[in-house]
Amino acid sequence: MISQEVLKEALKKNKLKSEVYGDLEYLRFTDDFKDIPRGTVLLKDTILWGYPHIGRIFQLSTGIREQFEGPFWVEEKVDGYNVRVFMHNGEVYALTRGGYVCAFTTDRVKDFVNLEVFEKYPDLVLCMEVAGPENPYVEESPPYIKEDIAFFLFDIMQKNQKSFLPYREKLRIIEEFNLPSVERYGLYTPEQVEDLKNLLKRLNEEKREGVVLKEDSERDKRVKYITSYANLNDIRITSLNMLGLPADYYTNRLLRLVLFLEEEGLKGDEELQKELGKAFLDGLFEACRMAREEGKVYRVFRCRFRSREKALVFLEQIKHASTHIQVNMLSLEKEGDFWVLEFEKVFLNMTGLLGYLLKGGSLID
Amino acid sequence: MISQEVLKEALKKNKLKSEVYGDLEYLRFTDDFKDIPRGTVLLKDTILWGYPHIGRIFQLSTGIREQFEGPFWVEEKVDGYNVRVFMHNGEVYALTRGGYVCAFTTDRVKDFVNLEVFEKYPDLVLCMEVAGPENPYVEESPPYIKEDIAFFLFDIMQKNQKSFLPYREKLRIIEEFNLPSVERYGLYTPEQVEDLKNLLKRLNEEKREGVVLKEDSERDKRVKYITSYANLNDIRITSLNMLGLPADYYTNRLLRLVLFLEEEGLKGDEELQKELGKAFLDGLFEACRMAREEGKVYRVFRCRFRSREKALVFLEQIKHASTHIQVNMLSLEKEGDFWVLEFEKVFLNMTGLLGYLLKGGSLID
């Protein structure tokens, strides 16, 4: 449990906010606070701990040796958004990493997850990645998801507990309820660095994001490692909204990219140079075109709901999610069994600055 | 003058610091403070105002129309460091933009500037750019300076005055004392945007940094405009020390580059993509190589002094200039009429982080 003093202090410092979703009232940690991770949620008698940060290694050969004392499990890191799915008073909800109940994910979880798991184990919290071309948050999508979204379980927590279920226990529950899971590549020893590098080369060619490594031990030590494809792709996807992201978003990815290649003895051939330059330039040129021709820099999202009402609730949620993004609904229409919501996110920083500069404005820097 | 209250407040807020150079004691504004620019220096009865910020336009056709009400002078913007040269108690000193008396620039100014100008006009403050392959601050150099350094006058101020001498007055003094000046391209009207674009195309091909435009009017309005060459070159030169710079250094330059090209109707061809990618990657790969093979990421500087003593004073100055850079002297030897100082700047952020990551360290981000 979290002590009353800590809660009071967090409230006073605005790190703990009250939220409402339908009949559900809850408190949400908006930031890391002491040892409490951002996204931790308090229901009446229940804590849903936030998903913890995982360290990133930049090179495998030294990183594995440095980080692990014994064998570790290797799993795909899917490029989507992180949710925690749980049952409360007979209803199933999905929390985002930040600790919001997401109306979209909550609406769709039953299409992908056998919810009987919560009847047998009501205290479980399923940690899953949601990804796909029709998700409302992430502009990227793994290439093997051709439409809509998909759910991928990677960890199981329990209510009121900060730690994860043991790996083999997780496997058992996945099997028992046939839960959708991230791809698992088995147990590697620290000596198998070359095998792991070969795996990463394949994942890179398949345009996957990377891997999470989980030590097969009591301490359950974890690290992640990202492919050069994913680093380049992050740049390509976000350059349209370059000013909306923290500037070190790009320097971080450049560094990761170079360390990935350097470990392989690569120097960055002309193909890579071109790809990197293009990743930055295409989005920026497109942003200029949009600002000039349409007066706004934006991206269109589309996602499928089962319930029209949830779509409207979701729209309200996302409208208030960021002061740097303006959300406009484009359409909400019945298509087969779905209500399909289309909306645009207008990137206000890019729109404002490019509009100003294209009109001949000056900046002091 | 600056009121006593403002001075006290600035001292209390640590925006005003006392400095010593030889027998000269002075106060220096370390940051912009109210309407006082960073680098403003107070001697006993004299204020040397800091060189003001100049706004930047990102596109010429709209920018000229928006910023200027009448004809404006066009001058080359030289890629070096900005100094203010003045005489005090019979001695000539050079201040950096930040308001330090620079031992190097002070040592060398007499080689380039006819100091008789201060005998006739003791209140003048010459605003000059110092550039060249053997300067101790800037890793770039205009291609037409083949060795050592050169001085380029672009403005004249007076002691205790914030404004510049009128343009024609500046020309007269340049002529009278044959002072070295930035290239001047004459007076343009706001209608001559196409001529100006052609000038910029030439400067871009000649690998020059850009232009400063100064309205020929009482208000002396100024803006600057940078070539795409210079934006790319900034990235190329600094990527070795990427983590030592503010992260928006790169996003700013990317934006400028794209707006320069967009105005020309260009989309960024493969050549540019490759050049941009290479600009980022080469420096980062070289940084990895240095960290791995030499245990440090660094750059070597070389500069020529007349006086051995000034070289040692300068070395002390630059050693204390930044906590992110460690300066090590490599040699100080007599070559012909010069004392040649060689030193390295070790980039501590890059050295530390790359060393940690290459050893297999992990980061949470």
pLDDT in tens, A23-74: 999 999 999 999 999 999 999 889 999 999 999 999 999 999 999 999 999 9
d(CA B142, CA A179): 63
The pLDDT tens digits of the residues spanning A286-323 come to: 999 999 999 999 999 999 999 999 999 999 999 998 99
Cα atoms in the Cβ-side hemisphere of radius 13 Å centred on B341: 26
Per-residue model confidence (pLDDT) at position A265: 84
Per-residue model confidence (pLDDT) at position A267: 79
Per-residue model confidence (pLDDT) at position B350: 97
d(CA A296, CA A348): 8
> Order of strands across the sheet with A150-158?
A91-96, A81-88, A124-131, A150-158
**pLDDT category, B266, cuts 50, 70, 90?**
confident
Taking the Cβ of residue B173 and every Cβ of chain A, the question of whether any pair is shorter than 8 Å is answered with no
| % of chain B surpassing 90 pLDDT | 95
Close Cβ partners of B193 (under 8 Å, ≥ 6 residues apart): B60, B61, B64, B65
Query: What is the third-level CATH fold of A53-226?
Result: D-amino Acid Aminotransferase; Chain A, domain 1 (3.30.470)
Per-residue model confidence (pLDDT) at position A83: 98
Backbone angles phi, psi at A73, to 5 degrees: -80, 145
Read off the pLDDT of each residue in B101-124 and give the average, rounded to a whole number: 98
Residue A37 is given by DSSP the state: P
The pLDDT tens digits of the residues spanning B164-175 come to: 999 999 999 999
d(CA B294, CA A238): 35
Q: What is the mean pLDDT of chain A?
A: 96
B339, pLDDT greater than 80: yes
* Residue type, position B24, single letter: L
A268, pLDDT greater than 80: no
> B243 to chain A: which residues are within 8 Å by CB?
251, 255
Is A56 strand, coil or helix? strand
> Order of strands across the sheet with A41-42?
A16-21, A24-29, A41-42, A47-48
Domain with CATH 1.20.58.2250 in chain A: 228-290
Alpha helices in A295-337, H assignment, sequence order: 308-319
Per-residue model confidence (pLDDT) at position B365: 79
Work out the number of other CB atoms within 10 angstroms of the CB of residue B333.
10
d(CA A6, CA B156): 60
What number of C-beta contacts closer than 8 Å exist between A and B? 172
The pLDDT tens digits of the residues spanning B274-316 come to: 999 999 999 999 999 999 999 999 999 999 999 999 999 999 9
CA angle A163, A165, A167 (to 5 degrees): 120
Per-residue model confidence (pLDDT) at position B265: 84
Per-residue model confidence (pLDDT) at position A5: 93
CB interface of B with A, residues 197-226, below 8 Å:
223
Work out the number of other CB atoms within 10 angstroms of the CB of residue A5.
8
CA A148 to chain B, closest CA, distance in angstroms equals 29
**pLDDT category, A365, cuts 50, 70, 90?**
confident
CA B52 to chain A, closest CA, distance in angstroms equals 10
Per-residue model confidence (pLDDT) at position A247: 82
CA A205 to chain B, closest CA, distance in angstroms equals 20
Per-residue model confidence (pLDDT) at position B1: 80
> B51 to chain A: which residues are within 8 Å by CB?
none
Per-residue model confidence (pLDDT) at position B264: 84
Q: In this structure, are residues B76 and B134 in contact, taking their beta carbons and an 8 Å threshold? A: no
Give the nearest partner residue to A276 out of B56, B63, B281, using CB atoms.
B281
Taking the Cβ of residue A13 and every Cβ of chain B, the question of whether any pair is shorter than 8 Å is answered with no
Alpha helices in B220-347, H assignment, sequence order: 228-238, 248-263, 270-294, 308-319
Read off the pLDDT of each residue in B88-105 and give the average, rounded to a whole number: 97
Query: What is the third-level CATH fold of B227-294?
Result: Alpha-Beta Plaits (3.30.70)
Global ipTM: 0.92
Q: What is the mean pLDDT of chain B?
A: 96
B90, pLDDT greater than 90: yes
**Picking from A86-90, A262-266, B47-51, B194-198, which range would have the lowest pLDDT averaged per residue?**
A262-266
Residue A49 is given by DSSP the state: P
Domain with CATH 3.30.470.30 in chain A: 53-226
Backbone angles phi, psi at B33, to 5 degrees: -145, 115
Give the nearest partner residue to B360 out of A65, A246, A282, using CB atoms.
A65
| % of chain A surpassing 90 pLDDT | 95
Give the nearest partner residue to B361 out of A66, A252, A270, using CB atoms.
A66
| % of chain B surpassing 70 pLDDT | 100
> B223 to chain A: which residues are within 8 Å by CB?
362
d(CA B262, CA A357): 12
Q: Please return the burial class of A311, using the count of CB atoms within 10 Å of its CB with bins 0-12, 13-18 and 19+.
A: buried
- Residue in chain A closest to B251 (alpha carbons) equals A247
Q: Own/partner pairs for A26-29, CB < 8 Å, 24+ apart?
A: A26/A101, A28/A98, A28/A99, A28/A100, A29/A99
Taking the Cβ of residue A162 and every Cβ of chain B, the question of whether any pair is shorter than 8 Å is answered with no
Taking the Cβ of residue A54 and every Cβ of chain B, the question of whether any pair is shorter than 8 Å is answered with yes
d(CA B50, CA A218): 61
> B274 to chain A: which residues are within 8 Å by CB?
270, 273-274, 277
B5, pLDDT greater than 90: yes
CA B349 to chain A, closest CA, distance in angstroms equals 13
From residue A244, give the alpha-carbon distance in Å to each of A99, A239, A283, B209, B242. Answer: 22, 9, 13, 28, 20
DSSP string, B71-135: -EEEEEE-SSEEEEEEEETTEEEEEETTSPBPHHHHHHHHHHS-THHHHH-TTEEEEEEEESTT-
The rounded radius of gyration (Å) of the Cα atoms in chain A is 22
CA B231 to chain A, closest CA, distance in angstroms equals 13
d(CA B260, CA B190): 18
Per-residue model confidence (pLDDT) at position B223: 97
> A211 to chain B: which residues are within 8 Å by CB?
none
Query: What is the third-level CATH fold of A295-365?
Result: Alpha-Beta Plaits (3.30.70)
The pLDDT tens digits of the residues spanning A219-247 come to: 999 999 999 999 999 999 999 999 999 98
Per-residue model confidence (pLDDT) at position A25: 96
Per CATH, the architecture of A228-290 is what?
A: Up-down Bundle (1.20)
From residue B13, give the alpha-carbon distance in Å to each of B31, B43, B80. Answer: 10, 20, 31
d(CA A338, CA A107): 11
d(CA B133, CA B147): 6
> B284 to chain A: which residues are within 8 Å by CB?
254-255, 258
| Number of residues written out for chain A | 365
Domain with CATH 3.30.70.2160 in chain A: 295-365
The pLDDT tens digits of the residues spanning B305-335 come to: 999 999 999 999 999 989 999 999 999 999 9
